[in-house]
Chains A and B, each alone.
Chain A
């Protein structure tokens, strides 16, 4: 079975400060990892993914994520937060063996960026 843990329900950060949203995963085989953002009453918007290659993945809107195989983590980061980044962030995983093609999501982390 595959699973994702997002240990923080909410992260608060001041505008201009760096932000980190944490994610750890469990999966059979090699992981395919994703970050999505969701604004109120909207669907999920893709931010970035890790399939293979460099452990540091760069994505949309200045976000990046670092894949750490030994710690089974895929934390989302941004060097300088904006108020407009305030939203709900989801980490998701699927394995490259078994599990079909379905993504398994974490419970989400609410990011609040304040002036």
Chain B
């Protein structure tokens, strides 16, 4: 399978706990994006990496959120001290330099 892989598919956590999601992009894609999608809304941009460099962060990405892409391969998105408002689908996408975005199946987070 050469698509974008996200793990886990579902995560239920208690408020205040930390969670970490992983995204494995298509291997030849140097760009990686994280989006958040809440019910009834379109995906909202969170952050963007080109290789290992984090080039852009949305204001939606509060200081409780951190993303990394060590070595320019897989990426992790960590949420500290989760809140109920963090419940959403977290989508990862990757693209080659010439564009074209491939999305993963997403990680659905439920904070209880």
Contacts and interface: CB of A to CB of B under 8 A. Distances in A.
B91 A43 contact: yes
A24 interface: no
B41 interface: yes
B95 interface: yes
The secondary structure that dominates the B interface is strand
A107 B40 CA distance: 7
Interface in A31-55: 32, 34, 36, 41-46, 49, 51
A95 B22 CA distance: 28
A34 B101 CA distance: 9
Residue from A4, A41, A51 having most chain B Cβ neighbours under 10 A: A41
A105 B31 CA distance: 18
Contact of A108 (B42, B99, B101, B108): B42
Contacts of B91: 43-44
Sort chain A's interface into a size bin: 20 to 34
B106 A42 contact: yes
Contacts of B25: none
Interface in A7-44: 32, 34, 36, 41-44
Contact of B95 (A41, A51, A101, A104): A101
Interface in B48-97: 48, 55-56, 91, 93, 95
Contacts of B44: 105
B21 interface: no
Given A41-B108, A42-B106, A43-B91, A103 B41 contact: no
A102 interface: yes
A90 interface: yes
A73 to B, nearest CB: 17
